Amino acid sequence: MVKRKQKNGIKGLAASEQPREKLIRQGRRSLSDAELIAILIGSGSLRESAVSLGQRILAEYAHSLSELGRISLNELRQFHGIGDAKALTIIAALELGRRRKEEPAELKAKITSSRDAFEIMHPVLTDLGQEEFWIMMLDAANGVIDKTMVSRGGRAGTIADPKIIFKTALDRNAAYLILFHNHPSGNLKPSNEDVRTTKKLIEAGRTMELPVLDHLIVAGASYLSLADEGFI
């Protein structure tokens, strides 16, 4: 009986142990340093899996990424299972990490009032001929992570789908949300539906531990904050 050769690449691992699958399911921070190196390597050898090879490389440099970052092409070639292509991939990845650390930290816009939020969104929402619903995502220090449109309607209104709103915010690891929509009519007064929608989203945010801080209506060069005006 002929024995099958044992697969020691990433695909040879059980699905629950495959670094690529683990990254997709659980995110990049769930992976160990060895598993990240295994993704770069792609496959091991007949006698060693990619993860084991990653562990062996790390062990040679005291499990220090800083030490590993100084490794040369020739040094990497000394490991069984590492050829030029794999060695170059590892070195390139480590160099990108080094360059990232050298970049100055990006200064995020910080929201301390409804006026701050309006100033950022005013260029986006002014002079539109249709209603658009946007969300602004903040980190735990009220720094702006991102802003995105979640729906577009006609002159009379647009729909704010909670599933889209909170999925978008959770995907960006937001800590807080601010809602926005415009009134092409120029009338800043919130409709009953505006207030109901806002309260519904605030309640959903409490359940998901992702608080909704405010909802701004923008009309031309003016705005109304539902939080400032006591509607919520």
Q: Distance between CA 217 and CA 197 in Å, rounded?
A: 13
3-state secondary structure of 193: helix
Tell me what the mean pLDDT of segment 184-191 comes to: 92
Q: Which of 42-46, 91-95, 152-156 has the lowest mean pLDDT?
A: 152-156
Q: Distance between CA 179 and CA 209 in Å, rounded?
A: 16
Nearest to residue 217, comparing CAs of 107, 134, 144? 134
At residue 197 the predicted structure's pLDDT band, cuts being 50, 70 and 90, is very high
Output b/e per residue, 126-161; b: 16+ Cβ within 10 A.
eeeeebbbbbbbbeeebbbeebeebbeeeeebbebe
Higher pLDDT, residue 70 or 15: 70
pLDDT in tens, 112-136: 999 999 999 999 998 888 899 999 9
Tell me what the mean pLDDT of segment 51-77 comes to: 91
Tell me what the mean pLDDT of segment 128-150 comes to: 94
Question: What average pLDDT is seen over the chain?
Answer: 88
Task: Give me the pLDDT at residue 97, please.
Answer: 87
Pick the CATH number of 114-225 from 3.40.140.10, 1.20.1050.10, 3.40.309.10, 3.20.20.70: 3.40.140.10
Given a contact cutoff of 8 angstroms between Cβ atoms, the answer to whether 133 and 149 are in contact is: yes
Task: Give me the pLDDT at residue 8, please.
Answer: 53
Q: Where are the domains of the chain?
A: 10-102, 114-225
